[in-house]
Amino acid sequence: MSSTPLDPVSLTQEQIRFESVTPHDKGAQAHLKTYLQKMGFTIYDLPFEGNGGTYPVQNFFARLGSTGPHICYAGHTDVVPAGDVTGWTYAPFGGEIANGKIYGRGACDMKGGNCAFLAAVSRYLTHSKTPGSISFLITGDEEAESVNGTVRVLQWMSHHGHIPDVCLVGEPSNPSLFGESVRVGRRGSLNGHLVVTGKQGHVANPHFADNPVPKLIRLLSALTSHVFDTGNAFFPATNLEITTVDVGNTAMNIIPAKAEAYFNIRFNDQWTSDSLKQKIHALLNQAHVPYDVRLWGNAESFRTPPGSWVDLVLSVIREKTGQNTQGNTGGGTSDARFISRYCPVVEFGALSKTIHHVDEHIDIDILYQLTDIYHEIIVRYFKMT
């Protein structure tokens, strides 16, 4: 049992100072493990590589208790690059405090959430002994390939009897107002790389060349003009966006030899990756031009159905923030998509409006509120079960 609760502000400052740009850890996970070990958690270091990934990844699982009920917190310590550091008001890995905010890469996404839950657990343990288990699933691979992180740790957890009854992911779930949103699902994501091969030539002699650009336009038109669906009560409509189109030309008087485009589809639960791939091929075939396409992704859509876990989280947030908190499936992808295969999972964290931006920051008031909410969720979960 801990004697003094941890301070989420100083913890977050310390975490930000580890320059853990994905896939490098730089000591961020060891920092968290130090505090967890002091609280009596058993630590399992779980580095993974291979599995189609291009680099090794640091992960760990920590558990206090050996029986149910079992609540797990899932988060990541890796962050996206800072970009042009000259554009930052404060050093991106300095964890500086100004105007009631902590500045730094990962402040919201999601080192602040990790530290808030760590502080919430330390507060809980100052006056209670857990009647079940509390665990942490921490990965260093969420912001990149996501093949040697959470998905591999969950496989290990399943094999060793550590699958929780419920899971909370600390992703920044609130677009504008703290307490407005809990993610109870996410859309899937599928990437595409489309290539049309022609024959290079001079624009003055098109009969000696084969221009691939008009063909690529026809193919892209077939994709963008199609209405995949109109959404449903839980998800918005499936959406395809073209992200790049390129021919590699450096001169205006050349018919290119190749034209290519990349696109991404965010899809709802009316599709799977496999059914969507079949649909993409069918649409492209309607253009009646030769093409090559590569389709890939490891993010299926999911939704946690209503139930006692979702209701508990929503009720705590509504009471603590005064917001009419709603469960939704907005935002991008997250590692919750892997967890959803094993247990009910929801996502709640800080504001998302500065994540991946220059001058990413978290309000200190929000960090304390988040810690308070996490603590109350732990208390009520064990009372409920």
Give the pair of three-digit tokens for residue 289: 């031009």
Run of H or E including 138? strand 133-139
In angstroms, rounded to a whole number, what is the distance separating the alpha carbons of residues 116 and 97?
17
The answer to whether residue 78 is catalytic is yes
Residue 311 annotated in active site:
no
- Rounded Cα gap, residues 310 and 348, in angstroms: 11
Q: What are the tokens at 227?
A: 């209405």
Amino acid at 78: D
For 352-363, give one letter per residue: b (16+ CB within 10 A) or e.
bebbeeeebbbb
* Contacts by 271-279, CB closer than 8 A, 24 or more apart: 271/188, 271/228, 271/229, 271/238, 271/301, 272/188, 272/300, 273/188, 273/190, 273/297, 273/300, 276/188, 276/190, 276/228, 276/238, 277/190, 279/228
Q: Which of 142, 300, 335, 363 is catalytic?
A: 142
- 25, 78, 143, 347: which one is catalytic? 78
Which residue from 298, 171, 196 is spatially nearest to 257, judged by alpha carbons?
196
Q: How many CB atoms lie within 10 A of CB 92?
A: 26
d(CA 237, CA 264): 14
Q: Give the C-alpha separation, 222 to 125, whole Å.
A: 58
Catalytic residues: 78, 142
